[in-house]
Structure 1
Amino acid sequence: MENSEVLLHQLFQTVRIISKGLNKRLEPLGIYSSEWSIITTLKEKGSMTQGELASYLNIEPPAVSKSLVKLEKKGLIMRMAGTDKREKKVTLSQEAVDQCLIWREIVGHHRSAILNDLSEEKQKELTMLLKNIFQNAQEYDKNITI
C-alpha cells in the first residue's frame, strides 16, 4: 500500500475509534459524540442556524438535521425564530447548559486517556499537521466542479 493510503486509512480508523470510545462514555448520559460536537459548538459560539452549524462542523446538513431532531426531543436544544423568518436559530436549553459540566468532565477524561503519552509539543505538532491536511482538503474541494 502507498504511504499516503496507509496514512489516510490510519487517520480514518483513529477518528472512528475515538468516536466509538466517546460514545461508550456518553451514551449512559443520553448523548452521543455527534450530539456533543453540536452542544459544545453552541456553548462556545452561541445560537446558530442549522446551516451555520453544518458549515462550521463540516457535517452534511441532513446529518446535522437528524442530530438536531434528537437533541430537540431530549430537550437539550430549542429552535427560535431568527432575523430571517425562513431560518431558525438553534440554542441550548437550560437543561443542556446544566449538564455541560458533567459531559465536559467525561470528554476530558477520555481525551486525557487517549493522549496521555503525547507530550504537549507532540500534540501541537500533530495539530499543525492535521490543520495542514485539512487546509489542503478544503483547497482541493474548492477546485472540484461537479
Structure 2
Amino acid sequence: MSPQLKFRASLLRCARLMSDEINTILLPHQLNYSLWQVLYVIQLKQGCTSIDIAEYLNVSKPSIAKRIHALMRLEVLEQVDTEDKRQKKLILSAKGVEVFQICSEKMDVFEQQLLLPLDQNSKTCTLDTLHTLMEHLQELKTGTQS
C-alpha cells in the first residue's frame, strides 16, 4: 500500500472514530454530529441562514433543511425575519443555548483527553498540518490553487 493510501485511510478512520465518539456524547441530548454541526455554525456566526450553513459545511441545501427541521422539532432553534423576506435567519433558542453549552463542555473534555498523549509541539504541528490540508482542499475545489 502506498504512503498516500495509508495517510488517507488513517485520516478518514480517525475522523470516523472521532465522529462516533462525538455521537455518543451528543446522544443523551437527542443530537448527533450532523445536527451538532448546524448548531455550531449558528453559534459561531451568531445567527445565519440555511444557505450560510450549507456553504460553511460544504453540504447540500436539502441536507441542511432536514437538519434544521429536526432541530426545530427539538426546540433548539428559532427563526427570525431578515431584511430579505425570502430568507429566515436561524438563531439558537434559550433551550438551544443551554444544550449547546452543555454539549460544548462535554466535547471540550473529550478533546482534552484525546490530545493527552501529544506534547504542545506535536499539537501545534498537527493543527498546522490540518489547516494547510483544508486550505489546499478548498483551493482545489474552487480552482484557485497557486
Alignment of 1:65-84 (within 5 A): 65-84=65-84
Alignment of 1:7 onto 2:1: no
| Amino acid of the structure 2 residue aligned with 1:76 | V
Query: What percent of counterpart residues are identical?
Result: 23
Q: Distance in 2 between matches of 1:60 and 1:143?
A: 20
Mark the runs of 5 or more structure 1 residues left unpaired by the alignment.
Answer: none
Tell me by how many angstroms 1:58 deviates.
2.5
Tell me by how many angstroms 1:106 deviates.
1.1
TM-score (norm. length: structure 1): 0.89
Give the match for residue 128 of structure 2. 128
Q: Distance in 2 between matches of 1:143 and 1:98?
A: 40
Give the match for residue 56 of structure 2. 56
Tell me by how many angstroms 1:102 deviates.
1.5
| Amino acid of the structure 2 residue aligned with 1:135 | E
Q: Distance in 2 between matches of 1:125 and 1:107?
A: 22
SS at match of 2:80: strand
SS at match of 1:91: strand
Tell me by how many angstroms 1:68 deviates.
0.9
SS at match of 1:48: coil
Give the match for residue 26 of structure 2. 26
Q: Distance in 2 between matches of 1:51 and 1:73?
A: 20
Structure 1 residue runs of 4+, over 4 Å off?
A: none
Q: Distance in 1 between matches of 2:58 and 2:108?
A: 22
Choose 68-77 or 25-34, whichever is displaced more. Answer: 25-34
Q: Distance in 1 between matches of 2:66 and 2:122?
A: 36
TM-score (norm. length: structure 2): 0.89
